[in-house]
Amino acid sequence: MAPTLSINTNTGAQQNDVAERIVKTLTERIMVFDGAMGTMIQKRKFEEEHFRGEMFKDHPNNLKGNNDILVFTQPDVIYDITKSYLNAGADFISTNTFSGTKIAQADYGLENYVYRLNKDAAKIARRAADDVARETGIERFVVGSLGPTNRTLSISPSVERPDLRNVTFDELVEAYQEQTRGLLDGGSDVLLVETIFDTANAKAAIFGIQLLFESEYSPVPLFISGTIVDKSGRTLSGQTVEAFIFSTAHCTPMCMGLNCALGATEMRPFLEAISDNTSSFIICYPNAGLPNAMGGYDDTPQMMAEDLRGFAAAGLLNIVGGCCGSTPEHIKAIADAVRPYPPRIPKTNIFGQQLLLSGLEAVVIGKHTLFVNIGERCNVAGSRAFAKLILNGKYEDALTVAKRQVESGAQVLDINMDEGLLDGKSAMAKFLNYIASEPDISKVPLCIDSSNFAVVEAGLKCTQGKCIVNSISLKEGEQDFLNKARTIRRFGAAVVVMAFDEQGQATEIDDKVRICTRSFKLLTEKVGFPPSDIIFDPNILTIGTGMEEHNQYAINFIEATKIIKETLTGCRVSGGLSNLSFSFRGKEEIRTAMHSVFLFHAIKAGLDMAIVNAGNLPLYTDIQPELLELCELLIWNRDPEATEKILEYAKSLTSKGRTEEVADAWRSLSPEERLQHALVKGIDKHIVEDVEITRLQKDLYPKTLHIIEGPLMQGMAIVGDLFGAGKMFLPQVIKSARVMKKAVAHLIPFMEIEKKEQKLLNPDAVESSSDAEYAGVIIMATVKGDVHDIGKNIVGVVLGCNNYKVIDLGVMTPCEKIMNSAIEHKADIIGLSGLITPSLEEMIHVAKEMERNGLKLPLLIGGATTSKTHTAVKIAPKYSFPVIHVLDASKSAVVCSSLLNEMQKLDFAEETSEEYDIIREEYYESLVDRVYVSLNDARSRHYHIDWNSNPPASRPTFLGSRTFRNYDLSQLKPYIDWKPFFDVWQLRGKYPNRGYPKIFNDKTVGEEAQRVFNDAQKMLDEITANNLLEASGIVGFYPAQSEGDDIHIYTDETFTEKKTTFHGLRQQAEKDSLNDPYYCLSDFIAPVGSGHTDYLCLMAVTSGLGINELCKRYEDEMDDYSVIMVKALADRLAEAFAEEMHERIRKEFWAYNKDEVLQAKDLHKISYQGIRPAPGYPSQPDHTEKLTMWELMDITNESGIELTESLAMLPAASVSAIVFAHPKSQYFAVGKITKTQVEDYAVRKSESVETVERWLAASLSYD
């Protein structure tokens, strides 16, 4: 799998070949990166004279510690270190140029040597790589290292001057370009922008590199590696992992990953986040643990290799190496550890056509995002107050305007500095630098808004996130349009395109669509813009001007929006809302009403976002009916007199008159109605007063909690309904939440008093500071990537009032914090909340991690974007313990009680599990276009077992088969699972009286279930006492090895002569995650060439010998009831026989679990090691595999179990199974398979395709 040896000469064509060879190898195996050059240099204990050498012996500055100049003064040492990493197994060797920019070298007075330094460093690495390639025959690649410099664009060096920067974007671009020229001229195959602690610096490096690729050099692969500075999961400049990815993805790096700062263990969750959010290959080179007290690194090669082995086993790696503290010994151990594992398969089309933006945090805008508010008030042209602050130089005060916009619900913040008295470029840069100092503001993406493109560029140079540029257009012609678009693309920003062209502004529908279509083609075909990064503004123009030609403007925008969204796939539509009502300046009630009505209709037509005054829009349903009707008439041009009528309406309004009277009318409602009104309207003025009045109505609300569960929750339910219907916008929802919080805050002290009083009334209550006094401990968190906690907070209050100790971890909670908190606080339940769609993926991740880390707690799922279907289909299968979707706060206490009640929890979990099984089945059956991966892809992503770390079970106590005749039926009775018995009689209790024996307590079926059960006991006693049925079975053990999807059975333990082969089928239905394996039963047997001995067990048992005679007797007596009863009991005895025999296999015959002690209920829940799937069932749906079993063990003659023409077993009360012992073995369903697998399977079985299709008819994905 090594690439063909080719010595690099750095021509454009050969560079393309190099990229292709790297990609090819990355798809075949995990490649290895080198370790820390600095660590190896430190081991040499060089002094000042070693750094100076002859070249710099008279240099005026101290040079000790400037490792990069050793390429001049100690080139042989650098070569030896480089070669030692290559000999240790590194495929990639990085240049000794981490500080190789003139910015970093200026500290030593060596900035004039930078180009030569980088070129010489690359030459040394090139020579070492080529030498080792010749010696080994395996090509090695030189990676040009571009470090972060010692300056940062996003952070001020002065506490007193938040806007101050000690480097500019242009200076960084120039420095990185000089370094890049040297690296490429010296022979680098790859460029690596690494140890990124400030994404703005990295964007400058990317910008400079892309300019060189466009003008001077053929492109080479680009690797991007960030640095997470601590367990918070953020870079030094404050970005989350996801935001970092979105900010740099525009350069389409071949590899993206993390290095430095953290050890492997600490890095894992953040690397998983990168894997989940990028289509690039993954590179990971952590430190050798965290620094110790002396600044060293303690992880040994074996420790580091073992940690990274886990990364590889989880499918996280494409390239792996080491950073600080790692040595050639570390790299060799890592290379050995990951060698057996397949590489990560990069995900494709992860986000589809969603718009990805970022500030400090990531924002995903898609079809589930609803409407996006772009806050408009940081606009000197649109806000007098903001303009005054900026013009007077009060930038810090101006930040309060930005903060209010974000707090009011702006998901994106528009910044505009277009004012004649301002230096727009300077003002834009200064204000954005101030914003960077305020995380509460800079967490959201920015919209750089200017008609002066120089101002736009100034803004782009100050933003580390992925922002929006507003705007460009075709009004200056195509070339100007393309030039600006290419610049924006280099910065990685999304773009707003106005519907202007050389003829001017588009006002008619056809012109709007024509210009947008032309722009779309230019951007996608000539610039390479992804459609999802294109936002069209088809011009919201002013209506109600008195000019007839303006009357259609609102309609034209809405209709053009529909067409644009239908024809220009993937784009978004935005607009400047304030333009619509410009004719009514000074009449704010009219303007805001017009805006709300227009948005109500435009959003339905496809408007995704608009520049609005976040938090200042009335509800559509809250507009006075007369004004609402007038706005509808004006917007839809239904009345030529609409403008005059609105003006007349406006005259009737006074500051103290009609509006205030109407506004205060709700105060005459009942207290409960006032509470609901206040919540829906977001009015907090009277909320404490009204809550207190309601609380004093003890006849209606004997407990304070009832107020929350009653009128307050009802009000929030109305808010939720209006939000879902598009009649409320996010800022209004946030205002409602603030009112709710204020109401609850007033009630909490009273609830605490009631709790204390309740304790006094209970003389048995023991005052304790421990958690024993609580009904349970519940960890609650809004998952990482989500900041919404309204519903979660309400759930917390409800649970707290039901005597649960609730530990609320807040919002944006990383998975590790959730799990660690659960362990620390000995939690009984974990509850996850989320409002936005990406939260669903994070919930899946949390479930997977809980499973991987062995947590055994129920997991509750809640939040506006969650659903029972998504929970059942996507989350529950990832976790072995109960996963419950909780619809709303009112259900939370009941669910928690059921999960923690010892008498109820098993039945509750089982009922939920069965319900979710049905939901999953219905969901997958409803999928018309189920996607299937190719057979080769499925095989390459097989379930991987590290056989060295997890060897096969021990040798069985005998080989060959052993028969058991006249088995003691009384021995099987304790193993009977009675639940399926009641299913035969269609007797099903309702929770909590499901299952045996609780079904007897069920009001509906309990009495009948008891009667049938009693009859069964009588018949069972009669059968065992009189030997009316005979049980017989056979068990066999055989040496086995897997090869692909087959399991070979051998004549003896030399594994030289095959006796027969069991053929397997592999899953092909596309999985949700690229890390999810595609199972086949052969995955659980050690493969040929693994060096491990393995065995396969076969089993067939029956308890139905003699059943025909017994049934005939009952039939002659016309006793149909007894016929059904004896068949049901024979079936239960056969399953009990299989359960008992499997237990003997584990404890006695195979003896790999000699000390196992399990109750029958545990056996029925498969709480043991190993599985026993049967041919013809989900894990191997082909019944013809029974023929191999029957022939191998002569089952018919030995046990009396025959096979019919259709390969059903006779007697029917029989069970056959293939038994696997490996602890990693698990049940699965093959599901549907493609024709390619059917044809492959037919060849392996030496059968015709038609025959195989007949037997597998139910498993075919095609007609």
Return d(Cα 147, Cα 426) in angstroms, integer. Answer: 29
Please check whether residue 543 is in contact with residue 631, taking contact to mean a CB–CB distance below 8 angstroms: no
Nearest residue to 198 via CA among 230, 168, 226, 164: 226
**Residue 730: its H or E element:** helix 730-761
Beta carbons of 76 and 90 less than 8 angstroms apart: no
**Are 786 and 815 in contact, with CB atoms under 8 Å apart?**
no
| Cα–Cα distance measured from residue 128 to residue 137, given in angstroms and rounded to the nearest whole number | 14
Rounded (5°) CA angle 91-94-95: 145
CB within 8 Å of 327: residues ≥ 6 apart: 35, 36, 39, 40, 301
Q: Is the distance from CB of 181 to CB of 131 less than 8 angstroms?
A: no
d(CA 341, CA 945): 9
Residues noted as catalytic: 786, 788, 839
Contacts of 760 (CB under 8 A, 6+ apart): none
First to last CA, the chain: 38
Runs of H (alpha helix) within 186-249: 199-215, 241-248
Contact indicator for 243, 467 with CB cutoff of 8 Å: no
Cis peptide before 736 (omega within 30 of 0): no
Give the integer Cα–Cα distance in Å for 1136 and 431.
Answer: 75
Written as one letter, the residue type at 736 is: S
Do 140 and 12 contact (CB within 8 A), yes or no?
no
Q: What b/e string do you get for 718-753 counting C-beta neighbours within 10 Å, with b at 16 or more?
A: ebbebbeeeebbbbbbbbbbebbbebbebbeebbee
User: Which residues make Cβ contacts (< 8 Å) with residue 98, sequence separation at least 6?
Assistant: 37, 38, 67, 68, 145, 147, 194, 195
Rounded CA-CA distance 636/618 in Å is: 19
DSSP of 1085-1127, one letter per residue? SPBTTSS--EEEEEEEEEEEETHHHHHHHHHHTT-HHHHHHHH
| Residue 846 half-sphere exposure toward CB, CA atoms < 13 A | 34
d(CA 567, CA 564): 5
* Nearest of 1129, 1113, 1160 to residue 1015 by alpha carbon: 1129
User: Residue 964 — φ and ψ, nearest 5°?
Assistant: -125, 110
Residue whose tokens read 């003997």:
1144
Give CA torsion, residues 373, 374, 376, 378, to 10 deg: 130
- Which letter does DSSP use for residue 808 in this model? E
Largest CA distance in the chain: 116
Q: The tokens of 399 are what?
A: 């930040």
Check: CB of residue 498 under 8 Å from CB of residue 539. Answer: yes
798/775 Cα distance (integer angstroms): 13
Look up residue 1239 and give its amino acid.
Answer: E
Residues 886 and 705: their CA atoms lie apart, in Å, by: 19
